[in-house]
Amino acid sequence: MQEDDASEAGRKWRGVSRPQRDAARRHRLLEAGVELFGTQGYAATTVQGLCRQAGVSSRSFYECFSGREEVLETIYLEATRGIERRVMALDIAAGDTAYEIIRRGVQAGVGPMLEDERLGLVLEIEAVGVSPELETRRRQMIAGIARAMDAMMLELIRRGLVPESPPGLIGLVAVGGMTEALVAHLNTPSAVRMPVPEFVDELARVITRMAGG
């Protein structure tokens, strides 16, 4: 019983404080999650596998997460929030064409998953249908992105870059279409894959057409 006084959590261990060590372990576990979920799949990944991959003991694991599922949820949430932020942060410079604007949006949306395909598979395949909770969040996230898309479309209309048209399902169809194309791309042997910039071009082209541009 000597933890109540001074130093609190300030004592260092191998140079780093307790919260720093915790954060590092947590980070390694999340990275392990991306690696294993993204290669073996969620179903085939065990807690022990995550621990081995991350170099963390199962005891420490349960100090960070309540279980496998929470690791996946955390990965999903952090990654998609980052993507959402990037999409929201797009500044639609005046003077651009509809295609240019949409292409930047597409790049922001699928870019991170093209750069790290493990992440793409985790977010678009492994995270599907895992639990009602995650499913709810996924649905909210998709709806949010679809709304952002619709907003972008309205902005394009306002600027006269595309003709007026009833709102409807465009945002949703665009999001679903992008992810389907993305997954197909990731599942294509890299030898015969379309180059990434070209892929994004093509995707932007289809969506622009859908918007009426």
79 Cα distance to chain centroid: 4
Per-residue x/- track, 58-97, DNA (CB under 7 A): xxx-x---xxx-----------------------------
Q: Which residue lies nearer to a second copy by CB, 50 or 200? A: 200
Nearest alpha-carbon partner for 42 in 125, 152, 102, 150: 125
Of 29, 30, 36, 51, which one interacts with DNA (CB under 7 A)? 51
CA torsion angle 66 67 70 75 (round to 10):
130
Q: Which residue lies nearer to DNA by CB, 20 or 137? A: 20
CA pair distance 97, 102, nearest whole angstrom: 9
Per-residue x/- track, 105-144, a second copy (CB under 8 A): --------------------xxxxxxxx--x---x--xx-
Sign of the four-CA dihedral 121, 201, 87, 26: positive
CA pair distance 157, 154, nearest whole angstrom: 5
CB of 36 to DNA, least distance (A): 11
Residue 147's binding partner among a second copy, DNA, none (Cβ under 5 to 8 angstroms by kind) is: none
Please name every residue paired with 16 in a beta bridge, in sequence order, or none if there are none. Answer: 13
Residue 68's binding partner among a second copy, DNA, none (Cβ under 5 to 8 angstroms by kind) is: DNA
Answer whether 94's CB lies under 8 Å from 83's CB: no
Sign of the four-CA dihedral 25, 31, 37, 39: negative
Stretch that binds a second copy, among 88-96, 109-117, 148-156, 198-206 (CB under 8 A): 198-206
Residue 13's binding partner among DNA, a second copy, none (Cβ under 5 to 8 angstroms by kind) is: DNA
Please name every residue paired with 17 in a beta bridge, in sequence order, or none if there are none. Answer: 12
Which parts of 65-195 fold into alpha helices (H)?
68-89, 98-115, 117-121, 132-158, 170-186
Q: Which residue lies nearer to a second copy by CB, 90 or 125? A: 125
Residue 46 within binding range of DNA, rule CB under 7 A: yes
Residue 15 within binding range of DNA, rule CB under 7 A: yes
The site for DNA (CB under 7 A) is made up of 2-3, 11-15, 18, 21-22, 25, 46-48, 51-52, 55-60, 62, 66-68
